[in-house]
């Protein structure tokens, strides 16, 4: 497969899908509290996407994934499966939402801190957040994917954290995961050159310890090998004539 350039009509559809994914994260925020199970969060998101938005939760049955959202807790890196575990004071949780609307995908995730996080927990959440934004601020026509990866990697490693290598951002559109792969590490000037109309995600996974990961026996949940805490934030973007537009921006991120 090759990298597609979206038409203005396609970009408008991706704006709608992106806004829906962002809105699910806004909706779920007050529910992410001590005592709630990740299954309950999954049900609330599923019902909102299907009944209110009249859209489709992309993860459900995607390559056999059994739920409508991913919930990755503490040392879980990504692709955590919602279940009966109740949130407790000090947990950090990533919720990753992907919706399909009129055939187009919007994909976004954010961290939540439950109750009072430890200093270490807050730190990995904040480093991952800044890593996403350092990557986003690189995006413009003529820039290369290696520039994005390099901006993320140098920042994260300067903070004495590590960048997960096995999973990456991705092109997105009619398909959940399209070309190109958007690595969160790299060398300046290397890789694909960005052009207006390209749509992709940036979604750095940052570990407090070493970068290595393994997949649990459920076939999905990715965890840090050394059991250190991990955090991830994700946005879907389109390259514009003079920079970027974030398609999954939430109200709590808008200036003013």
List contacts with ligand MF3 (CB under 6 A).
59, 62-63, 65, 70, 79, 96, 98, 107, 203, 234
Q: In angstroms, give the least distance from the CB of 90 to ligand MF3.
A: 25
Q: In angstroms, give the least distance from the CB of 125 to ligand MF3.
A: 17
107 annotated as a binding-site residue = yes
Contact 68, 100 (CB under 8 A): no
Q: In angstroms, give the least distance from the CB of 57 to ligand MF3.
A: 9
With CB under 5 A as the contact rule, the residue among 201, 207, 213, 228 that binds Co ion is 201
Q: Which is nearer to Co ion, 133 or 188 (CB)?
A: 133
79 annotated as a binding-site residue = yes
Phi and psi, residue 71, nearest 5°: -130, 115
107 part of the interface to Co ion, by CB under 5 A: yes
Residue 214's binding partner, choosing from ligand MF3, Co ion, none, with beta-carbon cut-off 5 to 8 A by kind?
none
Q: Which residue has the tokens 């599923």?
A: 46
42 part of the interface to Co ion, by CB under 5 A: no
75 annotated as a binding-site residue = no
203 annotated as a binding-site residue = yes
226 annotated as a binding-site residue = no
Instruction: Summarize the annotated binding site for a divalent metal cation as residue ranges.
Output: 96, 107, 170, 203, 234
Output the known binding site for substrate: 79, 177
Binding annotation: 79, 96, 107, 170, 177, 203, 234
């Amino acid at each position: 497969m090759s990298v597609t350039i979206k038409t203005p009509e396609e970009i408008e559809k991706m704006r709608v899908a992106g806004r829906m994914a962002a809105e699910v994260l806004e909706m779920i925020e007050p529910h992410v509290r001590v005592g709630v199970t990740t299954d309950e969060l999954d049900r609330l998101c599923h019902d909102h996407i299907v009944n209110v938005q009249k859209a489709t939760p992309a993860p459900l049955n995607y390559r056999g994934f059994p739920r409508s959202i991913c919930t990755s807790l503490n040392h879980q890196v990504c692709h955590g499966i919602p279940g009966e575990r109740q949130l407790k004071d000090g947990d950090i949780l990533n919720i990753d939402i992907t919706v399909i609307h009129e055939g187009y995908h919007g994909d976004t995730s954010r961290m939540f801190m439950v109750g009072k996080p430890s200093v270490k927990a807050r730190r990995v959440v904040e480093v991952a957040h800044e890593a996403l934004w350092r990557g986003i601020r690189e995006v413009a026509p003529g820039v290369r994917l290696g520039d994005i990866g390099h901006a993320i990697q140098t920042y994260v490693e300067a903070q004495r954290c590590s960048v997960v290598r096995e999973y990456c951002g991705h092109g997105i559109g009619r398909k959940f995961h399209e070309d190109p792969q958007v690595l969160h590490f790299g060398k300046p000037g290397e890789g694909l050159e960005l052009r207006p109309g390209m749509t992709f995600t940036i979604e750095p996974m940052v570990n407090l310890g070493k970068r290595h990961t393994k997949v649990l026996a459920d076939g999905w949940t990715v965890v840090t090998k050394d059991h250190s805490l991990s955090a991830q934030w994700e946005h879907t973007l389109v390259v514009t004539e003079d920079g970027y537009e974030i398609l999954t921006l939430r109200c709590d991120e808008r200036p003013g």
